Amino acid sequence: MNSAIGPYKGGRRFHPSVNLDILKFLAFEQTFKNSLTSLPMGSGKGGADFDPKDKSDAEIMRFCQAFITELYRHIGPNLDIPAGDIGVGAREVGYMFGMYKKLTNEFTGTFTGKGFAFGGSRIRPEATGYGCVYFVEEMMKTRHSGLEGKKTLISGSGNVAQFAARKVLDLGGKVLTLSDSSGTLFFPQGMTEEDLLHITELKNKPGARLSEATQYLNAEYLESQRPWHIPCDIALPCATQNELDEDNARTLIKNNCQVVAEGANMPCTLAAIDIFRDAHILFAPGKAANAGGVSVSGLEMSQNSLRLNWTSGEVDERLHSIMQRIHHSCIEYGTVDGTTGYVRGANIAGFVKVADAMLAQGVV
Ligand SMILES: NC(=O)C1=CN([C@@H]2O[C@H](COP(=O)(O)OP(=O)(O)OC[C@H]3O[C@@H](n4cnc5c(N)ncnc54)[C@H](OP(=O)(O)O)[C@@H]3O)[C@@H](O)[C@H]2O)C=CC1
Ligand SMILES: O=C(O)CCC(=O)C(=O)O
């Protein structure tokens, strides 16, 4: 499938001849913790030092409108495409899209992550979390295993974490934790469907804390702690950058964790990644494991261009096969002497695809 977008971050512009279903070529990570960030497709992350946590809906709307009043000149359906990220979901994208439409008098696919009523794609909210777990499923297959009964630690409780948890439960795994910037909720017996519903309802209220959930959930709240000391089979850091360091990596290995996949962008420090590599843990970097989000954003643009809406089933099927193909590329490029390094595979596959397209187009 040819997409109308460049699939890498850290480049500059729209690149029509590069396929969507490749690995994200992640050159850098968002730099503003606790800020509004958004990622233009085929480009870099942008952000603002505006903390939405203590702001009213009207203040957030006015901020988004002011932001777009300046940014609108530099974005467009064939230029750079902003999307959601930390602190930016359908609400913020809706406000930015509305202002963009007012200023340009155009209804185009300039933003992704839009509401379903005005051009958003089914499964875009789910895509990053689901995609990450589809990737993990493929990793487990290389060890002749699956997610059934596997104890899984998930950090974060936002968009990526919630849908990663949903998919792990669907595939029969046990979700032991979710977390936020104040602490971790630990479900010793594994979270139930009902627990997840309660948490989703709670965390989707602006400013809510996971600590508020302990009264009605069968969980322990671990104040100011991250999840990584809890014994598990699979670890999915899905919150923010640098949330899993070398000590956490050593603890995971000591506790026999087999698979680590980054749902967030760059959540594991470089030192932690080296430790996973030396211990032959299956470790998937975000540029591969969390590429489901940007991929379905690409599918959203395709639907906008076609003036079509695909069903949830159709988008999910495409997402699933994109994640399988990304996994396949990692194996193809990352296997040396029978051992697969997903970091190596993801880097080489992403680089080769972008380099080939650039070379084919000549030095201009
Ligand atoms: N949304 C998407 O489609 C994609 C997201 N990503 C990446 O995934 C990660 C999560 O994004 P997303 O779920 O969309 O964001 P959300 O804003 O929906 O959720 C972020 C979560 O991370 C927690 N968090 C934030 N800062 C910290 C911290 N310092 N320590 C511990 N937890 C923290 C938040 O807790 P609290 O409520 O306390 O703030 C919240 O639970 C980011 O790295 C993002 O770049 C990658 C690909 C696509
Ligand atoms: O939907 C998108 O284009 C961006 C997703 C995202 O935040 C990311 O890939 O880091």
Looking at ligand 2, which residue's alpha carbon is closest to its atom 7?
85
Residue 340 CB contacts under 8 Å (≥ 6 apart), including other chains: 142, 282, 330, 331, 334
Check if 20 has its Cβ closer than 6 Å to any atom of ligand 2: no
Residues 6+ apart with CB under 8 A from 83: 38, 39, 40, 41, 93, 111, 112, 113, 293, 294, 297
Last residue of a domain, one of 88, 118, 148: 118
Contact in structure between 210 and 203 (CB atoms under 8 Å): yes
Give 3's Cβ-side CA count (13 Å radius). Answer: 23
Helix (H) or strand (E) holding 60: helix 57-71
Classify residue 2: in a domain, yes or no: no
Structural domain of residue 47, as residue ranges? 8-118
| Cα-to-centroid distance, 231 and ligand 2 (Å) | 30
Question: Angle at CA 160, nearest 5°, toward 155 and 162?
Answer: 75
Q: Are residues 106 and 198 in the same domain?
A: no
- For 109, 188, 275, the CA distances from 269, given in Å and listed in that order, are 35, 27, 10
CATH number for the domain including 24? Answer: 3.40.50.10860
Q: Is the CB of 226 under 6 A from ligand 2?
A: no
Structure-token pair, residue 16: 């029509």
CATH number at residue 196: 3.40.50.720
Same domain, 57 and 157: no
**Residue 45, CB half-sphere, CA atoms under 13 Å: how many?**
22
Active-site residue set: 45
Total of domains in the chain: 2
Asked whether residue 58 falls in the same domain as residue 140, the answer is no
| 203 assigned ligand-binding residue | no
- Is any ligand 1 atom within 6 A of the Cβ of residue 87? yes
| Run of H or E residues at 299 | helix 292-306
Instruction: Judge if 133 and 89 occupy the same domain.
Output: no
For the chain, how big is the Rg over CA atoms in Å?
20
Whether 291 is covered by a domain: the verdict is yes
Atom of ligand 2 nearest to the CA of 39: 4
ipTM over 0.95: yes
Residues 154 and 132: beta-carbon distance below 8 Å? no
User: Over the range 132-144, which residues count as b (16 or more CB within 10 Å of their CB) and which as e?
Assistant: bbbbbbbbbeeee
Could you tell me if residue 261 is inside a domain? yes
Give the three-state DSSP class for 33. coil
Say whether both 342 and 241 belong to one domain.
yes
Which pLDDT score, from 0 to 100, does residue 43 have? 53
Of 72, 103, 118, the residue that ends a domain is 118
- Residue 3 located in a structural domain: no
How does pLDDT run along the chain (364 residues), one tens digit per residue?
222 222 223 332 233 333 333 344 433 232 222 234 454 455 577 788 888 888 999 999 999 999 999 999 989 888 888 998 888 999 999 999 999 999 999 988 889 999 999 999 999 999 999 999 999 999 999 999 999 999 999 999 999 999 999 999 999 999 999 999 999 999 999 999 999 999 999 988 888 999 998 877 889 999 999 999 999 999 999 999 999 999 999 999 999 999 999 999 999 999 999 999 999 999 999 999 999 999 999 999 999 999 999 999 999 999 999 999 999 999 999 999 999 999 999 999 989 988 998 999 997 7
Same domain as 198, residue 303: yes
Do residues 181 and 283 both lie within one domain?
Answer: yes
Strand-strand pairing, 234-237 and 220-223: unpaired
Residue 264 alpha carbon to ligand 2 centre in Å: 10
Q: Residue 101: enclosing H or E segment and its boundaries?
A: helix 90-104
CA distance 154 to 176: 7
Q: Are residues 151 and 291 in the same domain?
A: yes
pTM: 0.91
Query: Is 38 marked within a binding site?
Result: no
Which of 85, 163, 290 has the most ligand 2 atoms within 8 A of CB, as the residue to mutate? 85
Residues 46, 188: Cα–Cα separation, whole Å: 39
How far, CA to CA in Å, does 3 sit from each of 15, 29, 48, 77, 295? Answer: 9, 24, 29, 12, 10
| Residues found in the chain | 364
User: Pick from 94, 118, 142: which residue ends a domain?
Assistant: 118
Separation in Å, CA 306 to CA 10, 112, 301, 310:
28, 15, 9, 10
Distances (CA, A) of 340 to 268, 274, 281, 288: 19, 14, 10, 14
Where do we find the tokens 């709670």? 202
**Do 128 and 114 belong together in one domain?**
no
Q: Cα 130 to the chain's mean position, in Å?
A: 9
User: Is residue 154 within 6 Å of ligand 1 at its C-beta?
Assistant: no
348 contacts 330 by C-beta, under 8 angstroms: no
In a domain, 364, yes or no: no
Q: Is residue 199 part of a domain?
A: yes
Whether residue 200 sits in one domain with residue 90: no
Closest Cα to atom 5 of ligand 2: 294
**Assigned domain for 260 exists:** yes
Angle, to 10 degrees, between the axis of helix 312-334 and the axis of helix 342-360? 100
Residue 224 lies in a domain: yes
216 and 281: one domain?
yes
Question: Is 9 labelled a binding residue?
Answer: yes
Do 208 and 237 lie in one domain? The reply is yes
HSE at residue 213, side-chain half, CA atoms within 13 A, is 34
DSSP string, 155-193: E--SHHHHHHHHHHHHTT-EEEEEEETTEEEE-TT---H
